[in-house]
Structure 1
C-alpha cells in the first residue's frame, strides 16, 4: 500500500473526524472515519471472497452515501482499482441508465459492482452483456458490525482509479489513473490550499465526477479532515443549507463549477444570509471550461456583507486525464482578469489587450501549475511550442497525468476525439488557451469553434453574450457550432417558451457572427443536456438537432440554398481552429 493516499485513513483513522451527510431535512448524519475504515476492511474481505485480486476493477454505484466511501476504502484495501459510476437518478429513464451502465462495464470490465440494496436489481439487470460483474449490495451498518473483518491491505496494482471524463464533447471516456498519479495530484492540491487536518471541506458535487471525487472526497479524506456532503439534488433545492456550513465556521474549503456559484446568486436572497459569517471561508476552487467573470463578481458581492473575501475565489483548470487539478490561482490573491481582443484569439496569433469594447473578450486567469513537476505548454497545429501570449492548444505534462484511456482506443472511434491524446506523461487537451505573465488563460474547446471572417469563434464566448440578455437571465442556454447541410451554423438552445426574446437573440448572434447561419431552438427545462458538472453536452445536442429531436426550431433550419440566399447566411469556409 506504500504510496496510496488512502493508507492512513484505513490504518490510522482519527475518531474525532469523519464525514457528515446531509439528510435532506436540515440535519446531518455523522460517519466517523474509524467506522468507515472498519466497514472498508470488511468489504475488502467480501471482495476477496468473490475472487477479486490486485489489478481487478471494482465499480461503486451508491450515490453520495457512506457506502460509496466504504466501497472506495474496500477496493483500495483489496488492492483493486476503484471506478465510480452514477446511481440511478430519480427521474432518469431506466433504459438510458441501463445503456450507460453497460457502456461503463464494457469500458472498465469490472469484477464486482458495489451498490446499495435498493439498486441491486437495476445493476444485476445491466450485467448481462459481454462483461458480467457480480453485484454486491451493502450497507455501512452491516459491514461495520462484521466482527470478522481483517485489517489487511494488499499492495495496489498498476491502476488505483478508473474515472470518466465529463462527456461534454463526446461519449465519456474511461481514464486509468495510477496510485502515483493520484498521490501527486492530491499532494499538489493540499500544498496549493495549505490544507491541514483542521481544514474541513463541504461539497455538493457528485462523487462519480472527477472534481467531486478527487477534489472534494479523496483529498480531505486522505488528509483526515472533516467533510460535509450534500447530494447535488439537495444543493439545487436548498443552496442556503450549503452556505450555512461555511457561514457557521464548520468548513473552510470547497470546489464548484461556475454553474454552482451562479445557482447560489440566483436562488439565495440576502435575508437568508442573516447571522452567517464567511470570514473563515478560505478557498472556493472554481473550475469550468471557461470561467465567466461576472459569476465570480456576483457571488462575491452577495456574500461580502457577511465577511466573504473575493480572494477566496480560486479559478482553476483541470481534467480527468490529468487526474484532476492542472493549474490554480494563488491562495490569498484576488482573481486576475484581462480583456483580450477577440480577433487575436485564434491559434497561432498573439493575444492583444482589447482597445475597443466591442472587440473585448473578458478572460479569467486559471493560475499556474499546482502539482510539483507539472507543466503547461501551448502548441500550434503541428504540436510545436508557442511563446507566451500566443494562442494554441493546451498541453499538460507531469507526474499526475493519467496512464491513458482504459478502453485502449486512443480516439474512442470518434471522427473528432474529445481530447487530443496521450504521449507518456503528456496529454494534448483539445482546449485552446495561452499563457500571459505566467498564468494560463483558457479560451475554449477547439472542437466547439468555427472560423468567422478569419477569427476563431468559440461556443463559450457566444454563451457569454446570451447570458448578458436580461430576457434570458434565468433561462438555461447553450450554443452549438458546427456544419449543418454544408453550412457553418450557430445554434442557440434555450430552455424557454418561444417569445419576443427569439428575435432579440437572433439579431444579437447575427451581429456577432455575420458569416454563420443562426438557428434558435426553444424547449422546456432539460432541453440543454448537461454533464454531472453542468457542462453543456454539445456533441449530443448537435446530433439531436440534426435529427430534429432537440426542441422547437424558432427560426428556419438552414439549408445550403437558404444559406446562400440571405446576406447573414453566407457560407463560411469549412476549416476548423485546428
Structure 2
C-alpha cells in the first residue's frame, strides 16, 4: 500500500501533468481552464480530445518513467485511472480514496442525521454568474444535497447539485430544440417543486432570461389571472412558457393573448438529452432574470436584475448574517417572489447551504409543518411575511407542537409587508416555550428593485419598537417619542440599517433630505439597485431621482435606523392627518368573525363634491345578517375609540373578494376601483364562461398563429420533396461518372439547385478565395447542423474531400457514393482509432484539399465547441495552410434533432489562410487556436470553452 505522503505527491504530479498538457493545448484560454482534480473527466470536464489525450500519455510516460499500454488511451476516464496504471507498472498500487457519504434518506425524522455530510466547509470562489456557481458545485461535490423538498410529513425528496446540473442541461437542450435564442425570455409558471429549479437553471444554462410567474390559485378567478399574466408575458415578450399540465390545457387561450408566445410546454415535453455544458457568453452585468413586482399598487413591472446585482445583494446581506455551509435555510415562500427565490434559493445555491423548501399551500393549510421542518432539519435561517407568523399564532395548537425544538433558529426574518409589533411580541412570547429565542426575530425591509434585501438589523438583538406621539406624527410627520403607557401612541417596528455598501435616506416631496425622526419618502442607492424596468421607460424614469431610487414607501430614520410607516399610494388624508390603512386593517382583523389578513381600508371619492370617504372592506364566512350588523358596529367603534378615525362605510364580503398580489399583499387600489365600479360582490362566473370570453377576444391572434404553423409545415414538406427529387439523380450520376472533379461539380450544382428551389439565399463572402484554393490545404468550418455539408458543397466550386465520421460508411447505399466523393472516414468513439486515422490522413494529404469539421459533432445549443486536433496535426505535419470557414444560418434553418427545415438565408465567410510555423505539436496547437479565433469572430457565436 502506498504511503499517504507518497500518494499525495504522486497525485500532485499527475494533476500537474494534466494541467501542463492543457496549458500547451489551449494556451489562449488558460484563464478559462477548469480546475483539474484526480477525478475530473478527461473528456466532459477537461475537454481533452483524443490527440490531446495521446499527448498527455506521452507526457506522463516522461514524468513517471514508464511505458503505458496503448489501450489506456481509450480506457482512461480520469487522471486517477492513469495514475493507477502508473502505480501498477511500478509495482505499488495506490491507496483507495475515501468515498463521500450520500444522502439517501427521504424521511424528515432521520434527514437531520443523514444531512451531516453537508457539514464540511469549503471556500466558495467568486462567480460572475449563477450558471458558474451551479457548475462549480456540481463539479466539486455533485453528491452534496442542495435541497430537500417537503411534500408532506412522510414525503421528503432531495436534490443534489449534480442532479440539478444534469436536469438543467436537459432543459437547456429542450429549449434550443424549441428554437429558443440567446437572451430570449422564458416564462416559468410552476409551483414549488424540483421542476421549478430544473427550469430556472435550465433557462440560465441556455443563456436565456427566466421570468417567474405565479400559477393560478383558484379556477373561479382564471380570467383575471390570465389577463394579469398576459400583461406580464407581453411586456417580457416571452417566447416559451413552462407550466403544469393543467395550465397547458389553456395554451391556445394564452397564446392568443400573447403574440410573442410560440410554445406552452410542460417540463416532460421539454425534457431532452443533456447538453455537454452550459452555453457561455453571459457576463456579470447581463440580465439574470426579470422579477415582476407583485402589483400591490398598480400594474406589475419587470425589475431588471443582473447577476452582478444579485451577487452584490446576497453578499452584502451575508456580511451581516455570517452564513456559511453549516447553515440550513428553511422556506415556504413562493419561488416567484423575490424573498423566496433570491433571499433563500439563490443565496443557498451560491454559498452551498442546505435548503429545505415546501409549498406555500402546504404552509397555509398546515402551518405547523414549517416549524417542524426547522426542528427536524436544524434550520438556522427562515423568512416569512408578518402574516405567516400571525397564521402560526392563530392556527397552530399546542398539542401539535409537543416535542418541538426551535433553538437552532437564529434568524427569523420578518419582511415583505408591514411588520406588526403585536405579532412580533406574541410570537416570541408563545413560541419561547419551544426554544424560540427573542433575539432570533429579525424585522427586515427590502424590495425587488434592490433584488430583495435593503435594511437588516446590524446585529442579533431583540426587536426594537418605537413608541411615538400619534397626533404629532399624523399632523406634522414628526416621530416624537411618547410614553410606553400612552394608549393612543403609535408603535412602529425598527428594521435596522442599510446593508453594507448600500445607502438610504428620507426626503420630502421636493427631494430634499429630511432630519432624523421626520417622516418622508424613502430612497436608496447601492450596487444591488436595478437599472430599471424591462421595456418600460416611463416607470423607469419615475423610479430614479438622480443616483437615488424611489421606493414608494414612507418612513423615518432614528439613530441611523429605519422605521417604516406605510406606502405613499395607500396614504389616507383625513382632516389634515396622515392615516395608514394597515393600522385599521390589523385592528379589524382581530375580530372573531373577520378573516385575518383579508381586510382592506382605502379612501374613495377623491375630488367629488361629497368629499373623500373612508371605506373598510372585510371578508367573513358569516351569513347571519344580525351578526354581520354587530361586526360592522364593532368596526366603527374600534376605529373611533382606538384610532380616533371615523369610518364612512363598512362592507362585509365573502371570502376571496379582497384582491391580493401573488405574494399575499393587499391590492388596495384595485379594491377601491372595484368598489367604485360596483364590482366587489359580483357573483363568480363559471370557468367555461370566462374562457369563452377570453377566447372570443383572441380569435384573430389564434388564427394568425395557425396560419403561420401551416405555412411552416408546407415549406418543410416542399423542402424535403425537392431534396428527394435532386438527391436521387445526383446520387446516380456520382456513382457512375468518371473523374473526381466531375463528380464534385455534380454535388456542387445539386446544392445550388436545392438552395434555389427552396428559396434559400446563399451568400458567400470573399468567394474568390474558394475559386482559387491551393491544391494542398486544410479547410476547417464550424458545425451546427446537418445542412453544413450541403451548404459547403454548394459554396465551394473546387473539389474538396470531407473528413467525416466512419459510421456513414456502414450505410450500404452511401458507402460507394461517399467514397466516390473522396470522403475520408475517421472513428469518433475509439480514441486509438481516431489517432490512427489522423496519421493515415496526414500521410495521404499531400496535394489534396481536406475539409474538417473540427468540433466533431453538434447539438442544438449555440456556440463554438472545443476543436479536435486532427485537422491541425495534418496541416502541421504536411506544412499546409489552414483556411477557416464560417457558416451562419444552418442551425436556424435545420436545428439539431429536428427534421422540419424552415425558410432563411445561409452565409459562408472565408477567412485569411493561416500558415503553420512548424510541423510539431506546438505548431498544431497554434494553428488550431488561430483558426478557432477567426471562426469565432466571423460567426459571432459564443465560445463554448468559456465554461
State TM-score, norm by structure 2: 0.55
- The CA distance in 1 between the partners of 2:385 and 2:262, in whole Å, is 35
2:600 equivalent to 1:478: yes
- The CA distance in 2 between the partners of 1:97 and 1:249, in whole Å, is 35
How far residue 533 of structure 1 moved from its aligned partner, in angstroms, is 2.4
CA shift in 2, pair 1:434/1:509, >3 Å: same
Structure 2 equivalent of residue 400 of structure 1: 528
CA shift in 2, pair 1:541/1:448, >3 Å: same
Q: Select which of 422, 427, 433 maps to 2:549.
A: 427
Q: Select which of 2, 9, 13 maps to 2:134.
A: 9
2:438 equivalent to 1:438: no
Q: Does the 8 Å contact 2:572/2:580 carry over to 1?
A: yes
- Larger mean CA deviation between 313-322 and 243-252 belongs to 243-252
Secondary structure at the aligned position of 1:184 is classed as: helix
2:658 equivalent to 1:531: no
- Larger mean CA deviation between 496-505 and 459-468 belongs to 459-468
Q: Does the 8 Å contact 2:296/2:668 carry over to 1?
A: yes
- The CA distance in 1 between the partners of 2:572 and 2:275, in whole Å, is 61
Secondary structure at the aligned position of 1:12 is classed as: helix
CA shift in 2, pair 1:471/1:353, >3 Å: farther
- The CA distance in 2 between the partners of 1:177 and 1:233, in whole Å, is 27
- The CA distance in 1 between the partners of 2:363 and 2:535, in whole Å, is 33
Secondary structure at the aligned position of 1:197 is classed as: coil
1:84-483 mapped onto 2 (5 Å cutoff): 84-129=212-257, 131-135=259-263, 137-139=265-267, 143=271, 146=273, 148-156=275-283, 158-346=286-474, 349-355=477-483, 357-370=486-499, 372-411=500-539, 421-423=543-545, 426-467=548-589, 469=591, 472=594, 474=596, 476-483=598-605
Q: Does the 8 Å contact 1:420/1:430 carry over to 2?
A: no
Structure 1 equivalent of residue 635 of structure 2: 505
Q: Provide Cα deviations, 1:490-543, integer angstroms capped at 9, x if missing partner.
A: 211111232312112113324567786511010121122222222111011101
Q: Provide Cα deviations, 1:250-297, integer angstroms capped at 9, x if missing partner.
A: 322111100111001111111211111111111111114321111111
Q: Does the 8 Å contact 2:137/2:161 carry over to 1?
A: no
- Larger mean CA deviation between 172-181 and 344-353 belongs to 344-353
Secondary structure at the aligned position of 1:365 is classed as: strand
- Larger mean CA deviation between 35-44 and 146-155 belongs to 146-155
Q: Provide Cα deviations, 1:104-125, integer angstroms capped at 9, x if missing partner.
A: 1111112222224443332453
Q: Does the 8 Å contact 2:248/2:266 carry over to 1?
A: no
Where do 5+ consecutive residues of structure 2 fail to align? 1-31, 33-126, 623-627, 683-947
Q: Does the 8 Å contact 2:320/2:458 carry over to 1?
A: yes
Q: Does the 8 Å contact 2:185/2:239 carry over to 1?
A: yes
Secondary structure at the aligned position of 2:605 is classed as: strand
How far residue 150 of structure 1 moved from its aligned partner, in angstroms, is 3.2
2:162 equivalent to 1:37: no
The alignment yields a C-alpha RMSD, in angstroms, of 2.6
Give the greater-gyration-radius structure (CA): 2
CA shift in 2, pair 1:53/1:191, >3 Å: farther
Secondary structure at the aligned position of 1:186 is classed as: helix
Structure 1 equivalent of residue 184 of structure 2: 56
Q: Provide Cα deviations, 1:67-124, integer angstroms capped at 9, x if missing partner.
A: 1111211121222222101123253533223212211111111222222444333245
Q: Does the 8 Å contact 2:240/2:265 carry over to 1?
A: no
Structure 2 equivalent of residue 493 of structure 1: 617
- The CA distance in 2 between the partners of 1:452 and 1:50, in whole Å, is 57
CA shift in 2, pair 1:127/1:500, >3 Å: same
- The CA distance in 1 between the partners of 2:653 and 2:674, in whole Å, is 13
CA shift in 2, pair 1:29/1:537, >3 Å: same
How far residue 25 of structure 1 moved from its aligned partner, in angstroms, is 5.6
CA shift in 2, pair 1:266/1:511, >3 Å: closer
Q: Does the 8 Å contact 2:288/2:305 carry over to 1?
A: yes
Q: Does the 8 Å contact 2:660/2:666 carry over to 1?
A: yes
CA shift in 2, pair 1:290/1:307, >3 Å: same
Q: Provide Cα deviations, 1:411-439, integer angstroms capped at 9, x if missing partner.
A: 49xxxxxx952246531112110000111
CA shift in 2, pair 1:35/1:154, >3 Å: farther
Q: Does the 8 Å contact 2:137/2:352 carry over to 1?
A: no
Count of matched residue pairs? 544
Q: Does the 8 Å contact 2:133/2:349 carry over to 1?
A: no
Relative to total residues, which structure has the larger helix share, 1 or 2? 2
- The CA distance in 2 between the partners of 1:89 and 1:227, in whole Å, is 25
CA shift in 2, pair 1:352/1:389, >3 Å: same
How far residue 5 of structure 1 moved from its aligned partner, in angstroms, is 3.7
- Larger mean CA deviation between 515-524 and 77-86 belongs to 515-524
How far residue 135 of structure 1 moved from its aligned partner, in angstroms, is 2.5
State TM-score, norm by structure 1: 0.88
CA shift in 2, pair 1:74/1:67, >3 Å: same
Q: Does the 8 Å contact 2:378/2:409 carry over to 1?
A: no
- Larger mean CA deviation between 89-98 and 540-549 belongs to 89-98
